[in-house]
Amino acid sequence: MRHPMFTPSLERLGTHDKGTEMKTTALPPATPVTSGLPDQQRKLVTPIPGPRSRVLHEQRAAALPPGLSNVVPVFVERAGGGIIVDVDGNHLVDLASGIAVTSVGASAPEVVTRVQEQVAKFTHTCFLVTEYQGYVDVATWLNEHAPVPGEATTALFSTGAEAVENAVKIARAATSRPAVIVFDNAYHGRSLFTLAMTAKDRPYKDGFGPFDAHVHRAPYAQQLRWPGDPAQATPDALAELQSLLNRVGPETVAAIVIEPVQGEGGFIVPAPGFLRGVQSIARQHGIVLVADEVQAGIARTGRLFASEHDGLEPDLVVTAKALGGGLPLAAVTGRADIMAAARVGGLGGTYAGNPVACAAALGVFEIIERDGLVERAAAIEQHVIAALQPVIEASGVVAELRGHGAMMAIELVRPGTLEPDPEAAVRIARACHKRGVLLLVCGTFGNVIRLLPPLVIDGALLDDGLQVLADAIWDET
């Protein structure tokens, strides 16, 4: 059913400006040249999945182990801007960006050209063997832009989990301490050490233990689900962190690793002051503070780095997903003195900082700066709030619309309660998939629908996707 309170016209959309007062803004148009795929419109020519995708999905089922899951059984032919074209010719609206990766679109010309030029020159040398400029240029850009206090240096890696592990290695080398503190709902990756840091057992950890015993977990100050007075979430959570440190012994703790906005855990924005409180506790005890910005970093939240929202100045910042514009690239950027603690030869990897991925990252930086994608992410937030707030208020099935920038989510609950409703989230996601809108579910309880559109998405296309989502929410009432 079409939700009657939603008016898809860009001109007529109002926005809540964090208050109740409504004002009208329009999403600035995406620079067409960054889309890489001219036809930016949803178009369904078969059911989803279509016949060709079904055949390929059967082959996949025979060739791959079931441990590799899949959100939508659709095979992709090409993609760009806010559109994914499948092998049956359907044009799907991309509100996932391959999990916050293709922020500049999946075929941005600036990325494609740089990658093509680099791949024709050389594909690999291993930076530890012979060097190339792209690596240094990516590191220099990150050093200049990361919210790290003082002089920064950067080491490159291939995946988020690998970079998080290296941040822990560096923190251990810098402090000669073993322990690591992480938080409830945290997601830091699927490698064996980052699994110990990740909170959720199913599907991530189940059956893969035992895990490193030096990882300890503290509460994350989430106001919505805080067991006591939500206004006390920050002081309460900080008191619990301090009490955990007292039990573990602060002199044994190398690092506190925190997501400034939690990703897989449900796009949770911490209560005001929490991040800075964690920072001052870390500083007090000589603990290295690591911000895991693998999902939230590189313009996604309306700031270049999500740490900036709460004035956080971490010692080390980890980036990955959006960094390589779709090519595998990750980074640890941190205080030069701490980064220098890892001995010569202690960091690196065969593929770490691959030249083709570095070329892609330089294209990403160019687009972000030239097309104002940080500001565009902030405009997408206002747009999403304006579009979804009316249906959310009318429906009664959403506890909260939250997030920053183009990292927004809704949490589904049973009406009138805070009881998580993961079935509703899955029903809504499936309804959207069937109508050609690709979005993802997340959250510790699996009841959160997250929106991660490419930052270059066309305004009318975003509206179209949000209308489909609004309809699906309305169908839950």
Asked if residue 330 lies in contact with residue 159, where contact means CB atoms within 8 angstroms, the answer is yes
Shortest Å, Cβ 346 to ligand PLP = 20
Question: In angstroms, what is the minimal distance from the CB of 294 to ligand PLP?
Answer: 4
- CB under 8 Å to 445, separation ≥6 — which residues? 266, 420, 422
Binding residues among 166-195 for ligand PLP as defined by CB under 6 A:
187-189
Decide whether 269 or 386 has the Cβ nearer to ligand PLP: 269
Q: Which two tokens stand for residue 471?
A: 């309809």
Return the DSSP state at 91: E
- Residues 81, 134, 160, 459: which binds ligand PLP (CB under 6 A)? 160
The one segment of 54-62, 225-233, 288-296, 361-369 that binds ligand PLP by CB under 6 A: 288-296
Residue bearing tokens 């989803």: 48
Yes or no: say if 241 and 183 are a contact pair by the CB < 8 Å rule. no
Select the residue interacting with ligand PLP from 320, 384, 413, 437 (CB under 6 A): 320
Q: Give the residue, chosen from 34, 154, 234, 295, that forms a contact with ligand PLP under the rule CB under 6 A.
A: 295
Q: Are 306 and 275 in contact (CB under 8 A)?
A: no
User: Which residue, among 102, 57, 178, has the nearest Cα to 406 in the 3D structure?
Assistant: 102
179 or 306: CB nearest ligand PLP: 306
Q: Which is nearer to ligand PLP, 306 or 413 (CB)?
A: 306
How far apart are alpha carbons 263 and 17 in whole angstroms?
Answer: 24
Q: Does 263 bind ligand PLP (CB under 6 A)?
A: yes
Segments of 51-125 assigned E as strands: 76-80, 83-86, 91-94
**Residue 274 contacts ligand PLP per CB under 6 A:** no
For ligand PLP, which is the closer residue by CB, 188 or 435?
188
With tokens 């029903």, the residue in question is 427
Stretch 206-245: interaction string toward ligand PLP, x if CB under 6 A? ----------------------------------------
Name residues contacting ligand PLP, limited to 394-423 (CB under 6 A): none
Query: Can you read off the two tokens belonging to residue 414?
Result: 């049973």
| Cα 214 from Cα 179, distance rounded (Å) | 5
156 binds ligand PLP (CB under 6 A): no
Q: Which one, 424 or 449, has the nearer CB to ligand PLP?
A: 449
Provide, rounded to whole angstroms, the least separation between the CB of residue 467 and ligand PLP: 28
Q: Does 265 bind ligand PLP (CB under 6 A)?
A: no
Task: Report which residue's Cβ sits closest to ligand PLP.
Answer: 160
- Cross-strand pairs, 291: 258, 317
Closest approach, Cβ 140 to ligand PLP, in A, equals 23
Q: Cβ atoms within 10 A of the Cβ of 9, count?
A: 9
Question: What whole-number distance in Å separates Cα of residue 162 and Cα of residue 349?
Answer: 10
**DSSP-based three-state secondary structure for 330:** strand
Q: Segment near ligand PLP (CB under 6 A), from 72-80, 139-147, 172-180, 287-295?
A: 287-295
Q: How many residues bind ligand PLP (CB under 6 A)?
A: 15
Structure tokens at 10: 């860009």
Using CB under 6 A, which of 30, 112, 287, 294 touches ligand PLP?
A: 294
Q: How far apart are the first and last CA of the chain?
A: 10
Q: Which two tokens stand for residue 447?
A: 């009841």
Residues at the site binding ligand PLP, with contacts judged by CB under 6 A: 159-161, 164, 187-189, 259, 263-264, 292, 294-295, 320-321
